[in-house]
Structure 1
Amino acid sequence: MLIKKDHLYASVWAFLAVGALLFNSMFGGVAALIFLIAGCIYAASGITFTLKACRQNWELFLIPALCLVSVVWSDIPTFSLRANIQFLLTTVFAVVIARRLTLNLFLRSSAVVMLIAMLISLFSSRTALNGMTGEISLIGIFNSKNNLATNTAMCIALAITLSMNKKIDFTSRMLGLLLLLISTLVLVKAKSLGAIVFVICSILISFIIVYYQNLLLDSFTRSKLNWLMVLTFLFVICFIVFSLINGSFNEFMYNIGKDPTLTGRTLLWERGGHLIAERPLLGVGFQSLFYIGNNVAEDIWAIHHVPSGAGFNFHNMYVDISVELGLLGLFLYLIFITMIIRKIFNFKHITVGSSHFFAVTIMSYLFLQTFLEAAWFEQFTIIYFFMCISCVYLKEEERYE
């Protein structure tokens, strides 16, 4: 049951939380401090409810718990501990906002601050040079083209949900349509082929899942179709891996004028494989690789022509989590994904514009992104925040308002 709070108070908290995460790249520590202060006040204002909500969503705390334990074998325990506390608090705040705010309050408050961020980015002249390709790309209020693209994708997912929610007022739906328009323009201006493809595919997948789950099928037929989809997905993955190995993928990328290394990603994955082999079980520890003075990190930064100390990852969720948390972390991550997929396909009905629709859209995009990005488990990011909110929604009855 939702806790009834003053709507203005709840809206301000949602606005501050989402705004702080969106503008984190621009304002850094100030934005993070606003997020922490607002989050602590809001979570502490109903501490009994907060603790109960966290217990009910214990799955979200499995990987943060392993991250916290990894401080023991981290090369930089002090920094790692601070990052872990921030990561844990981000998880708690996401659970609280998902449970305490109505869907409409969350969507409207988030849409307002997202629209501000997207308008600033659209008319911004801030760009960044890609050291691997020499390409100059729009970054807006963010610190990289990839960051801009993924945050814009979150805006599009929320905008579609808000604009198609028939239980909400007309003005709010128009706000969703405006956010959708501006976010789409930003995504096109960013010229991120991967993000555009992922956004389009995630939207298509979301509507396909909604259509499929709303079909009146007997349990035997649905079970067989579920297995067919799983086998089809595994076949596609095997085909992609085979294409990478035999060189056909490289030929295809050359034909369309793109870098076959995916802007150095394949080189990163190879280096990640070596690191996994060195510490296979537990990894190097949460966020314990890319720090100034680490020879491996300095080498990777130099190869990719980025300044020492820049935020970085292996641009593949499976490689990244295996490097930081070992095969144990990868196992927990795969279990976590399996639980999400099973939950989605256990729904007998999904309504477009509902909380379940929002969760399916977010998770579809993030899952597609796992093969080229590693943004699931990072503190103070809108991506992780929305992922946690989506997981909470998937455990509850469908919300419409």
Structure 2
Amino acid sequence: MKIPKSILIDPEANRAYGAFAVAVSVVAFAYSSNFGKILILAYYAVWLPLLFVDYRRFTRNLSDAWLPLLFATYVCLSVFWSHAAGISARAAVQYSSHILCAYIAARTISVRTLVLGSLIGVFFVLLYSLKVNGYALDVIDGTYNFVGAFGSKNQVGFFASLGIFFCLIFLGFYRRNWLSFFWTAPLLLLSVYMLAIAHSATSVASLPVVLGIVILLTMSKVLSRQYRRVLFVVGAGAMVAGVAAALNLGLLDFVLGLFGKDSTLTGRTYLWEQGWQAAQQYPLLGYGYAAYWVQGFADAERLWAEFYITTRTGFHFHNTYVETLVELGFVGVTILALIILRAFYGHVSKVVFGDWSADSVVLAGAIGLMLIRSFFEVEMLGPYFTASFIVYYGLFKLKSAPVVRRRRTHIPAQEEKPANGRMPAPV
């Protein structure tokens, strides 16, 4: 039995397989630390074999992916100056293969399929966490919160906010009939409930901002390109003014107080300070990829002890750019910041300055969510994270998948022969 290639790699025909692959990926990103290598192998199994189905689809226009390729190369090269070369080598291979899977996904599945598969995956992730029903003390916040099957309330909050976001996006842009309201309702209610009990300030605060961005970009559809640019400038100015007011008028302390936090973000600013001091030791190239939080290293051991991390693993500076600065130096943090900003601004500019597209609005909102979270979490620097997968997918989607055309062999026209098979005599 021969399986048609289209049901695997054609974005218009592979919706079933694509949604399944995305759902498997989301579950793997969430619980690979719980179930071990089996989920990571499943993640690779749904994406990497597609390279061999039609390699020409993936080898054309590789120059469009130069920025992620540059970063992956730099991460791999950090092995040569890393303080823990073996750890850096293994992590670099994992991160590079993670980028490759996002590239394959961008070339084979549509944005609607990504949203649908994410909804399915998030539903199983939240359902399993609800079944485990775990609670733990957050050493940073000093509070006792719901963590589900995770080790952190922030991860529960992230997947809950992602479920709310994609439910609203699916109903607003991709639903086909009224039945969509019925099958998305359980996930939407579950996401809202788990976001409420997780008490994750980052997830709660970032969601309204991102939905506001999506609403503004959606409203721009009825405007001409000239007025879209005005709306973009006004919106950007209002955002800058809002940040300035939050910092200078005490609004930031008021908002943080609603979540039981203060202006120090309950320990995060101390971690940022420690990260900045660590970065001064090797400011240009850093310690090496994944080479700072290593057992036996004095600074890492000290911070683990100060924050009561008894496992001595799985900790970070709670800021993507501080963490990248420590591990990869100014060179690495510059490239990673360009990747995130290029992905976000690329889709916003397509909506504002080009032809309005629902897919670009959705990806601008999703990447915007990851951009906001990058200032408080580290989800872009490591492999097997939903945030990094979505950002790289969105970056690769800025260029549409190449259309592979079959070469046509030229067949010279043949002279017609009469019915009796004899050629007419020359004149």
**Aligned with residue 378 of structure 2, among 361, 369, 374:** 374
Is 2:385 aligned against 1:345? Answer: no
Name the amino acid aligned to 1:3: D
The equivalent position to 2:391 in structure 1, one of 380, 387, 397, is 387
CA distance in 1: counterparts of 2:258 and 2:189, whole angstroms:
32
Q: CA deviation at 1:236?
A: 5.1
**Does the CA-based 8 Å contact 2:14-2:109 persist in structure 1?**
no
Moved more, 315-324 or 84-93: 315-324
Structure 1 residues 284, 240: closer, same or farther in 2, change over 3 A? farther
One-letter amino acid of the counterpart of residue 396, structure 2:
V
Task: Report SS of the residue matched to 1:128.
Answer: strand
* Partner residue in 1 for 2:149: 141
TM-score (norm: length of structure 1): 0.86
Compute the displacement of 1:15 (Å): 3.1
| Higher mean displacement: 309-318 or 289-298 | 309-318
Alignment of 1:261-300 (within 5 A): 261-300=264-303
Q: Return the letter of the residue paired with 2:339.
A: F
Of 60, 66, 81 in structure 1, the residue corresponding to residue 74 of structure 2 is 66
Correspondence for 1:116 among 115, 124, 128: 124
Please report how far the alpha carbon of residue 268 of structure 1 lies from its aligned counterpart in structure 2 after TM superposition: 0.5
What letter is aligned with 2:337? L
How much does 1:201 deviate? 1.6
Aligned to 2:57, which of 49, 60, 74? 49
Deviation of 1:101 (Å): 1.9
Q: Closer, same or farther in 2 for the Cα pair 1:42/1:140, shift >3 Å? A: farther
Secondary structure of the 2:22 match is helix
List per-residue Cα deviations over 1:132-153 (Å, max 9, x = no partner).
4432211112221112222222
Distance 1:297 1:393 in 2: 38
3-state SS, counterpart of residue 136 of structure 1: strand
Give, as a single letter, the amino acid of the residue that structure 2 aligns with 1:112: I
Deviation at 1:112, TM superposition (A): 2.1
1:333 aligned to 2:336? yes
Shift of 1:62: 3.0
Question: After the TM superposition, which residues 2-401 of structure 1 pair with which residues of structure 2 at under 5 Å, given as runs?
Answer: 3=10, 8-52=16-60, 55-166=63-174, 168-172=176-180, 174-212=182-220, 214-218=222-226, 226-227=232-233, 229-230=235-236, 233-234=239-240, 257-343=260-346, 344-347=348-351, 348-350=354-356, 354-396=358-400
Distance change >3 Å, CA 235–CA 27, structure 1 → 2: same
Tell me whether 355-364 or 59-68 shows the greater mean CA deviation.
59-68
Residue 169 of structure 1 deviates from its aligned partner by: 4.7
For the 8 Å contact 2:75–2:289, the answer to whether it is kept is: yes
Please give the alpha-carbon distance, in whole angstroms, between the structure 1 residues aligned to 2:118 and 2:380: 20
TM-score, length of structure 2 as denominator length: 0.81
Tell me, what secondary structure is at the counterpart of 1:380?
coil
What is the CA-CA distance between 1:242 and the residue it aligns to?
Answer: 6.3
- Structure 1 residues 198 and 259: CA distance shift in structure 2, 3 A: same
Q: In structure 2, what is the Cα distance between the partners aligned to 1:108 and 1:77?
A: 40
Asked whether the 8 Å contact 1:126–1:138 carries over to 2, the reply is: yes
The higher radius of gyration belongs to 2
Residues 106 and 236 of structure 1: CA distance in aligned 2, closer, same or farther (over 3 Å): closer
2-structure distance, mates of 1:341, 1:104? 18
CA distance in 2, matches of 1:375, 1:303: 23
- How far does residue 253 in structure 1 lie from its aligned partner after superposition? 5.2
Give distance in 1, aligned partners of 2:195 and 2:149. Answer: 13
The answer (yes or no) to whether the contact 1:163–1:172 under 8 Å persists in 2 is: yes
Q: In the TM superposition, what is the alpha-carbon distance from 1:290 to its structure 2 partner? A: 0.6
**How many residues get paired?**
390
Q: More relative contact order in 1 or in 2 (CA 8 Å, sep 6+)?
A: 1
DSSP 3-state at the match of 1:23: helix
Residues 321-352 of structure 1: CA distance to partner in whole angstroms, max 9, x if unpaired? 2111111122223333442344212424545x
- Give 2:26's aligned amino acid: V
Which residue of structure 1 aligns with residue 413 of structure 2? Answer: none
Asked whether the equivalents of residues 160 and 191 of structure 2 are also in contact (C-alpha less than 8 Å), the reply is yes
- Structure 1 residues 338 and 251: alpha-carbon distance in aligned structure 2, compared to 1, 3 A threshold: closer
Tell me, in whole angstroms, the C-alpha distance in 1 between the residues paired with 2:286 and 2:362: 33
**Distance 1:317-1:214 versus aligned 2 partners, 3 A rule:** farther
Q: Quote the offset at 1:254 in angstroms.
A: 6.3
In structure 2, do the counterparts of structure 1 residues 264 and 332 end up closer, same or farther at CA, with 3 Å as the change threshold? same
Q: Percent identity?
A: 22
Q: Is the 8 A contact 2:22 2:121 kept in 1?
A: no
Counterparts of 1:119 and 1:340, CA distance in 2: 31
Point out the more displaced range, 17-26 or 286-295.
17-26
Displacement after TM superposition at 1:359 (Å) = 0.6
Task: Note closer, same or farther for the CA distance 1:87–1:308 as it changes in structure 2 (3 Å cut).
Answer: same
Q: CA deviation at 1:33?
A: 2.2
